[in-house]
């Protein structure tokens, strides 16, 4: 960022205040929510490219499979059993053809958070990235096509300024659902650049040389009450639902967002020469240092910046659901310059195309990317546990992390190979972490002869080798664990996925 930084310059680069506002009148929604149930928070932590349970919490030892030499079964000493879970801790000097050493760890997370972890098997219906991603969050149109995020925002988000925020972009994990009957405030709002997005949440603050606020508000009233109603455009199109929606965004909803001073509460950066907030009449968030300590690479690592803002959005009551995840580009440790001395231990933070680089080196990529996902989840959980929500309960007591992925990976490998590529595979499962889930459980199992997962009884959790779980069943279990009423939805009662 150069020394000529200005908020107006940044806003000119594609940040839009109007695009960030929830659709229904905020004051009315807040009043309606006052007597509603305490909110539950959903964090969708997407795992682009196929986060595979056979390479993590349902790993199989070579001694357990009669076909181990041709299947993705792991050497016995690499597989730890922790309660009902498996864990892989892997070191390697390379990621396939990339000479970059790494150390990846899954066991620490399982030991720390196993009581809140629930692994469920699932067989999807598409190996297309975008379609599989959509179905991982809408259950293959399980409930009129609404996504998990929309269901949470609709149930718990009325009193929140921007209930549903998507921090990772360009994936099916953040697509709108197809249920057009829900109010627009429940649809996801995209934050194209989490570090700078808070600057778009006030139309006045930070604009150098701006007139006094009362003059600014008078100009708004003149525009809204006289200039626009008298224009040819409004005389022609003023009764359009889209125009009415836009008017609501820039009037009541705008005032609701600005009144909360979100431009300050959500500002990750401290004042510095590179980000001269004070010179523009701005300041960093009161929780900024706490978040920066948890995510020290927020200024260059896309996933850390998303996670940092996700916590602030939940903690300050702005949102009830946030969606984040690794992006497709490779990410390198801060200070690494390609072509100068090669890559050292841990220099690759995010593999190219994330989990989908398993096409080249399945075990190494799965290890690196699962390590990245679990470290992000751990830091978010730690932050949420450290903040009291009410009556001695923390924010984490009201939260769920759903690690959403579109499919699994194929199980075959060349004889006894440690490095090999895999393709897309419908058969897989999902990781859910929450005090509201039936924690400490692996629901379903793995056939040691094929390494394919099988299902479970929705009521008792008893393994059922003749059954595979559908996208709609797992969707229903997540919705039900979050306490969302589903009358008339026709969802299977997945009581075993709920903590009782």
At residue 17, the pLDDT reads 46
Task: Please state, rounded to an integer, the average pLDDT across all residues of the chain.
Answer: 92
- Cβ(142)–Cβ(475) under 8 Å? yes
Distance of alpha carbon 493 from alpha carbon 479, whole angstroms: 10
500 Cβ neighbours under 8 A, 6+ residues apart: 438
Residue by residue, pLDDT tens for the chain (500 residues) are: 343 444 444 444 334 444 444 444 555 555 555 667 789 999 999 999 999 999 999 999 999 999 999 999 999 999 999 999 999 999 999 999 999 999 999 999 999 999 999 999 999 999 999 999 999 999 999 999 999 999 999 999 988 999 999 999 889 999 999 999 999 899 999 998 999 999 999 988 988 888 998 999 999 999 999 999 999 999 999 999 888 878 877 877 788 888 899 999 999 999 999 999 999 999 999 999 999 999 999 999 999 999 999 999 999 999 999 999 998 899 999 888 776 667 899 999 999 999 999 999 999 999 999 999 999 999 999 999 999 999 999 999 999 999 999 999 999 999 999 999 999 999 999 999 999 999 999 999 999 999 999 999 999 999 999 999 999 999 999 999 999 999 999 999 999 999 97
Distance of alpha carbon 500 from alpha carbon 486, whole angstroms: 19
Helices 362-385 and 302-315 pack at an angle, to 10 degrees, of 30
Residue 29 lies in a domain: no
At residue 12, the pLDDT reads 41
Residue 70 lies in a domain: yes
Counting the structural domains of the chain, the total is 1
At residue 255, the pLDDT reads 81
| Strand 117-123 relative to strand 102-104, pairing | unpaired
Greatest CA separation for the chain: 79
Distance of alpha carbon 119 from alpha carbon 463, whole angstroms: 13
- Cβ(266)–Cβ(288) under 8 Å? no
Task: Identify which of 202, 224, 223 has the alpha carbon closest to the alpha carbon of residue 213.
Answer: 202
Q: Range of 495's domain?
A: 37-163+339-379+424-500
Residue 112 lies in a domain: yes
Residue 250 lies in a domain: no
At residue 223, the pLDDT reads 93
Residue 435 lies in a domain: yes
Residue 266 lies in a domain: no
Distance of alpha carbon 498 from alpha carbon 500, whole angstroms: 6
At residue 7, the pLDDT reads 47
Residue 365 lies in a domain: yes
Residue 11 lies in a domain: no
């Amino acid at each position: 960022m150069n020394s000529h930084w200005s908020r107006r310059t940044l806003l000119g680069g594609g940040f839009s205040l109007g695009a960030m506002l929830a659709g229904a009148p905020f004051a009315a929604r807040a009043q309606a929510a006052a007597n509603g149930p305490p909110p539950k928070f959903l964090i969708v932590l997407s795992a682009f490219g196929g986060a595979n349970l056979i390479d993590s919490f349902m790993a199989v030892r070579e001694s357990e499979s009669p076909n181990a030499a041709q299947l993705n079964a792991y050497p016995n000493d690499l597989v730890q059993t922790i309660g009902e879970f498996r864990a892989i801790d892997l070191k390697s000097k390379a990621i396939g053809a990339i000479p970059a050493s790494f150390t990846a760890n899954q066991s620490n997370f399982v030991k720390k958070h196993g009581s809140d972890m629930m692994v469920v098997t699932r067989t999807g219906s598409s190996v297309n990235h975008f379609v599989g991603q959509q179905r991982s969050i809408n259950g293959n149109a399980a409930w009129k096509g609404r996504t998990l995020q929309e269901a949470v925002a609709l149930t718990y988000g009325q009193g929140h300024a921007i209930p549903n925020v998507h921090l990772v972009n360009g994936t099916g994990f953040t697509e709108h659902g197809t249920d057009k009957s829900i109010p627009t405030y429940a649809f996801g709002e995209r934050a194209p650049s989490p570090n700078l997005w808070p600057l778009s949440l006030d139309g006045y603050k930070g604009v150098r040389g701006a007139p006094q606020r009362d003059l600014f508000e008078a100009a708004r009233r003149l525009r809204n009450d006289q200039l626009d109603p008298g224009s040819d455009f409004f005389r022609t199109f003023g009764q359009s639902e889209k125009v009415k929606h836009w008017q609501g965004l820039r009037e009541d909803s705008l005032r609701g967002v600005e009144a909360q001073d979100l431009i300050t509460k959500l500002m990750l950066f401290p004042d510095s020469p590179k980000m001269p907030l004070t010179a523009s009449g701005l300041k960093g968030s009161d929780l900024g240092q706490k978040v920066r300590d948890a995510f020290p690479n927020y200024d260059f690592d896309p996933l850390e910046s998303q996670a940092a803002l996700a916590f602030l959005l939940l903690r300050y009551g702005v949102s009830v659901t946030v969606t984040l995840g690794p992006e497709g580009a490779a990410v390198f440790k801060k200070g690494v310059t390609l072509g100068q001395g090669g890559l050292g231990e841990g220099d690759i933070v995010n593999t190219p195309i994330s989990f989908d680089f398993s096409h080249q080196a399945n075990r190494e990529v799965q290890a690196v990317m699962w390590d990245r996902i679990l470290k992000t989840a751990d830091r978010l959980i730690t932050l949420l546990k450290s903040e009291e929500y009410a009556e001695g309960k923390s924010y984490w007591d009201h939260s769920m992390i759903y690690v959403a992925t579109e499919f699994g990976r194929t199980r075959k490998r060349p004889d006894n190979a440690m490095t090999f590529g895999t393709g897309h595979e419908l058969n897989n499962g999902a990781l859910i972490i929450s005090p509201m889930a039936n924690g400490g459980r692996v629901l379903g199992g793995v056939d040691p002869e094929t390494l394919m997962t099988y299902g479970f009884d929705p009521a008792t959790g008893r393994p059922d080798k003749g059954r595979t779980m559908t996208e709609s069943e797992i969707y229903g279990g997540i919705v039900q664990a979050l306490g969302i009423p589903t009358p008339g939805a026709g969802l299977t009662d997945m009581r075993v996925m709920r903590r009782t």
